[in-house]
Amino acid sequence: MIENRNNQKIGAAILFVGFALLFFILFSRVLFIQATGKADGHELKNEALEKYRRTDVLEAKRGTIYDANNEVIAEDTSSFTIAAILDASVTTDQKEPNHVTDPEKTAKVLAKYLDMEEVEILKRLKKDGDPFQVEFGSAGRGLSNSVKRKIEDENLPGITFIRQAKRFYPNGKFASHLIGFTQQIEEEGKDGKITFETEGQMGIEKSYEKYLKGKDGKIRYTSDLWGYLLPDRHEMVAEPEDGNDIYLTINSKIQTFLEDALNEVEAQYDPSKAFAIVAEAKTGKILAMSQRPTFHPGTREGLDVNWMNDLVEYSYEPGSTMKIFTLAAAIEEGVFNAEETYQSGTYQVGPNRIRDHNGGAGWGEITYAEGIQRSSNVAMAKLLEKMTPGVFRQYLEDFHFGQKTGIQLPNEASGSILYNFPLEQVTTSFGQGTTVTAMQMIQGATAIANNGKMMKPYVIDKIADNETGDTIINVEPEVVGEPISKETADETLDVLETVLTAEEGTGKTYQIEGYDVAGKTGTAQLVGKDGKYLTGASNYLFSFIGIAPKDDPELIVYVAVAQPKLENESGSAPVSRIFNPVMRNSLQYLNVKPAENIVSKTVELKDFTGEKTFKAREAYEKYGVDPVIIGTGNKIVKQVPAAGEKMLQGEKAVLLTSDNWTMPDMTGWAIRDVMKITEIVGLKLSYSGTGYVISQNIETDSVLKEGQKLIVQLEQQGNVEEANEKAKEDSDQPR
């Protein structure tokens, strides 16, 4: 018994000593850590700071792309995604809660700003499972900065926003293959963290990526457990470097003329391809270029149909538009005599027979001038024989066929000169066999329009620093060759004018009232998948290249339409529906004086902001402009187009008043006029179809709110009867 007690005392003493020793060790460890601030060789202060240190990316703004008039074509905008924090643990001060405390009130307020029913918002705010935070689907994404500010002004606890940079293309389908688009590329860092980089995927956005792309900055700061900034925080900021701005040669007004014309032809004739370029004759500056099919750079809708920029990447047999250069070479060599005659119909090349486009029947013995007017293949073969194939081969090189223009757009094709055998040499003279690009045709035509000096086509006017505005790169017109003399260029234009004015001319349908146009039609055979030429009345590439005014050229317009659905019409019908309005409207817009006494229809707007509404209306009506007044206020607060901009008489101009903005009836409006409304009020536009407005989701006279979504349906009003009537008058298929 006594022995057991002794053992218990010894055991208790051992435990006491053990615990005392453990306590001493722990106490010593705490004292050591407190005194030195170190544990296992680590600085605990630094470890603690690192734990609560946050590093966020400060996104660089991608450079803006402007047109020739400094109008935005592509820019970075901030959009926001709204989120609601539901976890009460983020709130440390009940007087200033950081989570949603009143779901019913929050849902009621948010319903005013989101395209979402109050009951649906409330359902998310009361979501089962105790989520940390919730979002609101598509209705809560892509919010503008103005909508964000309005929600913030409501002071709703727990409502937060996630900022996202978004590339915005305000004009929609507008030179889309030229401009291109951007895409978020997912990248995984060394630390395994996923980031997203914005990269250009085609067109200007891709070619000039190194100029447009900025350099992201960083911000490092200390925060609390939930990531909120501490009151006595210390920040380290590396500012982002924004991308440079690019100014194009594209003129938005002329581009719009072209887009509208292409839309109408696409809707009425459903071609497999259609493309066109408008260029400044004396500089090579591209003022407009587009194609069909096309796509929307913001949504990518339509991109799956045709990724290729047909104007620089697609090489094809040009057909009879190539005869321009054969004619010019023959004149330069002194072998073209307009009054000399030849036997039309057929021309023998070894065992092969070249035929004129009327089945080889020809028109008997005619002059070479008439041969050009009728687009005779035999006339070209005879001229080639006169100047010899070797000489003409050199002219092809002098006009830079078979070479890239160097326009600095992705994937430019060079085409190919097929010229090895006598038959290939002859067919090349009238546009068959040898292939070209549309941009090469424009480049070659500048020599005809610019006194023999050939200009390099270009779409970039300058690249400027985003912050200072200083010019980094300035592009000047560049002469890339002088294949013919001024005298030859003048005579070539004179002959090409008769293609439109002579009774036998294939280009009569391309005449424009008030302006002398020189040009050439083309009807090129298309090659099928089997490598053989297609047959059938519509299986051609119909084209026209026109220069105006003939005596002092300002513009070159080249149009091509492949495989249009024709009904008792010639191939000139769809091509002229693009060329004629684009050339006419562009010349008038540029205030090019007509040869005939036609009053200019271009006006330049003054600044009416701050003026009385009735005075502005009267002034616009005197301009000959159709004023659309938004609101009932007695003063003008904004106008579109802006002061100093030019527009054609009869166009719509929008004036925003100081009070009570209401929706006009837009039935029959073109999309460019609809965009004026969305720009001036700040609406979000969504549209489908082509042509003119037939329906709108916002009812006429209903109140408008900034950020509201406008949906319009477009439909062609068609002019099939008019086209058929023209076709009866113009029964000759142009060649």
Domain contains 504: yes
- pLDDT at residue 382 tops 70: yes
pLDDT digits (tens, 9 = 90+) for 233-289: 455 666 678 899 999 999 999 999 999 999 999 998 999 999 999 999 999 999 999
Is 610 a domain residue? yes
Which domain, by its residues, includes 453? 252-589
pLDDT, tens only, 530-586: 888 888 888 999 999 999 999 999 999 999 999 999 887 888 999 999 999 999 999
pLDDT at 602: 73
pLDDT digits (tens, 9 = 90+) for 659-689: 788 888 888 888 888 888 888 888 888 777 6
| Mean pLDDT across 129-141 | 82
Helices 671-681 & 252-269 angle (0-180, nearest 10): 130
E strand or H helix that includes residue 11: helix 2-36
Predicted pLDDT of residue 729: 40
pLDDT band per the 50, 70, 90 thresholds, residue 728:
very low
Of the listed ranges 133-142, 198-207, 222-231, 615-624, the least confidently predicted one is: 222-231
Distance (Å, whole) CA 714 – CA 735: 35
Residue 264 counted as domain residue: yes
**Quick one: pLDDT at residue 448?**
98
Query: Is the predicted pLDDT of residue 330 greater than 90, yes or no?
Result: yes
Q: Which of the listed residues 244, 261, 292 is the one where a domain comes to its end?
A: 244
**Average confidence (pLDDT) over 59-75:** 90
**Exposed, middle or buried: residue 373 (CB in 10 Å: 0-12, 13-18, 19+)?**
buried
Residue 229 inside a domain? The answer is: yes
Q: What is the mean pLDDT of the chain?
A: 85
Do residues 303 and 228 both lie within one domain? no
Residue 732 falls inside a structural domain: no
Q: Residue 135: its pLDDT value, please?
A: 87
Mean pLDDT, range 161-168, rounded to an integer = 80
Question: Can you list the positions of beta strands (E) in 508-554?
Answer: 518-525, 540-548
| 86-90, 233-237, 350-354, 706-710: segment of lowest average pLDDT | 233-237
* pLDDT tens per residue across span 332-360: 999 999 999 999 999 999 999 999 999 99
Tokens of 461: 């006017």
The side-by-side arrangement of strands in the sheet containing 555-562 is 286-292, 273-280, 555-562, 540-548, 518-525
In CATH, what number is assigned to the domain containing residue 702?
Answer: 3.30.10.20
pLDDT at 328 exceeding the cut of 90: yes
Task: Say if residue 32 is in the same domain as residue 97.
Answer: no
Residue of higher predicted confidence among 648 and 419: 419
Strands 65-66 and 72-85: antiparallel
199 versus 367: the higher-pLDDT residue is 367
If asked whether residues 364 and 433 sit together in one domain, one would say: yes
CA distance 542 to 321: 10
The mean pLDDT value for 213-225 works out to 63
Mean pLDDT for the stretch of residues 698-719: 76
What would the mean pLDDT of 707-712 be, rounded to a whole number? 84
**Domain annotation covers residue 735:** no
Map residue 420 onto helix, strand or coil.
coil
Q: Give the lowest-confidence range in 17-31, 482-496, 581-595.
A: 17-31
Residue 115's pLDDT band (cuts 50, 70, 90) = confident
| Statement to judge: residues 325 and 267 lie in one domain | yes
Give the model's pLDDT for residue 725: 39
pLDDT over 90 percentage in the chain: 48
- For 86, the token pair is 């539901």
CATH number where 59 lies:
3.90.1310.10
Amino acid at 551: D
Strand ranges for 27-147 from DSSP E: 38-39, 42-43, 53-58, 65-66, 72-85, 133-135
Q: What is the pLDDT of residues 431-447, one digit of tens each?
A: 999 999 999 999 999 99
- When mean pLDDT is compared across 138-152, 290-304, 510-524, the lowest value belongs to 138-152
Q: Are 77 and 65 in contact (CB under 8 A)?
A: no
CATH of the domain at 447: 3.40.710.10
The amino acid present at 150, given as its one-letter code, is: K
Q: 191 pLDDT exceeds 90? A: no
- The token pair at 397 is 């090189």
- Domain final residue pick, 564, 589, 614: 589
Q: How far apart are CA 318 and CA 315, in angstroms?
A: 9
Concatenated DSSP letters of 547-568:
EESSSS--EEEEEEEES---SS
Q: Are residues 278 and 412 in the same domain?
A: yes
Q: Which residues contact 162 (CB under 8 A, 6 or more apart)?
A: 80, 81, 83
The confidence score (pLDDT) of residue 280 equals 98
For residues 627 and 535, state if they share a domain. no
Mean pLDDT of 483-495: 97
Give the strands of the sheet with 692-696, arranged side by side.
Answer: 684-688, 709-715, 692-696
Whether 152 shows a pLDDT value over 80: the answer reads yes
Q: What pLDDT sits at residue 466? A: 86
Q: 137 and 257 share a domain?
A: no
Beta bridge partners of 200: 182
Determine the average pLDDT of the residues in 604-633.
Answer: 80
324 and 366 both lie in a single domain = yes
**Residues involved in catalysis:** 320
Check residue 574 and give its pLDDT: 94
Handedness of CA 227, 229, 235, 241 (dihedral sign): positive
In a domain, 161, yes or no: yes
- Of 589, 624, 658, the residue at which a domain comes to its end is 589
Are 429 and 576 in a shared domain? yes
pLDDT at 91: 82
Average pLDDT over residues 119-136: 85
- The predicted model gives 320-326 an average pLDDT of 97
Q: What is the mean pLDDT of residues 34-59?
A: 56
Q: Which positions ≥6 away from 651 have C-beta within 8 Å?
A: 625, 626, 673
The highest-confidence range among 174-183, 562-571, 587-596, 636-645, by mean pLDDT, is 174-183
Give the per-residue pLDDT at 212: 93
Regarding whether 150 and 89 lie in a shared domain, the answer is yes
**Whether 490 and 357 share a structural domain:** yes
CA pair distance 124, 85, nearest whole angstrom:
11
Tell whether 518 and 426 lie within a shared domain. yes
In-domain check, residue 420: yes
**pLDDT score, position 730:** 39
**How many whole angstroms separate alpha carbon 649 and alpha carbon 689?**
26
User: What DSSP character marks residue 62?
Assistant: P
Question: What is residue 456's predicted lDDT score, i.e. its pLDDT?
Answer: 98
Q: How many domains does the chain have?
A: 4
* Cα–Cα distance for residue pair 702/699, rounded to 1 Å: 6
